[in-house]
Amino acid sequence: RIQIDRKSPLPDTSRYGLPPCFDAEGNPVFFGSACVNKSIQPCKVTLKNNNLICSIPHGLVEYVQKGPFTVLPFADNMILVPTSGGRIPPGCRPVVGGADEKGRPLHHAIACVRQERIPGRTSQHL
């Protein structure tokens, strides 16, 4: 994971690997994690106009993270698999993106909304 601080210059984004998603404007979107209250939430990190924007989807609203966050490079050995209900398909290992206030793991996931792939979170308890 690559730690990002708002005061730091933009790091070399070639370290992030290929983006798993693109937004509607064609900007690359990566997986990330951010502290929210007493939890660490999986989030999306968009590279837009030479800035990294961290946003946390919650329901149908996205909240922009003002504090530090991390970017998870999308490695060659990572694959995205279809699932539902927070279930993990046999033979697959989820990528932990954080934990809720009770310490239960939250995993990185992608939702498809109007033909757009959006990073988010999943877990069996959600």
pLDDT at residue 42, rounded to an integer:
94
pLDDT at residue 46, rounded to an integer:
93
State the pTM of this model.
0.86
pLDDT at residue 123, rounded to an integer:
84
65-87 tens-digit pLDDT: 888 999 998 888 888 888 887 78
Segments of the chain with pLDDT less than 50:
none
pLDDT at residue 32, rounded to an integer:
94
SS (H, E, C) the chain: CEEECCCCCCCCHHHHCCCCEECCCCCEEEEEEEEECCEEEEEEEEEECCEEEEEEEECCEEEECCCCEEEECCCCCCCCCCCCCCCCCCCCCCCEEEECCCCCEEEEEEEEECCEEEEEEECCCC
pLDDT at residue 34, rounded to an integer:
95
User: The tokens 């109007």 sit on which residue?
Assistant: 114
User: The tokens 């708002």 sit on which residue?
Assistant: 6
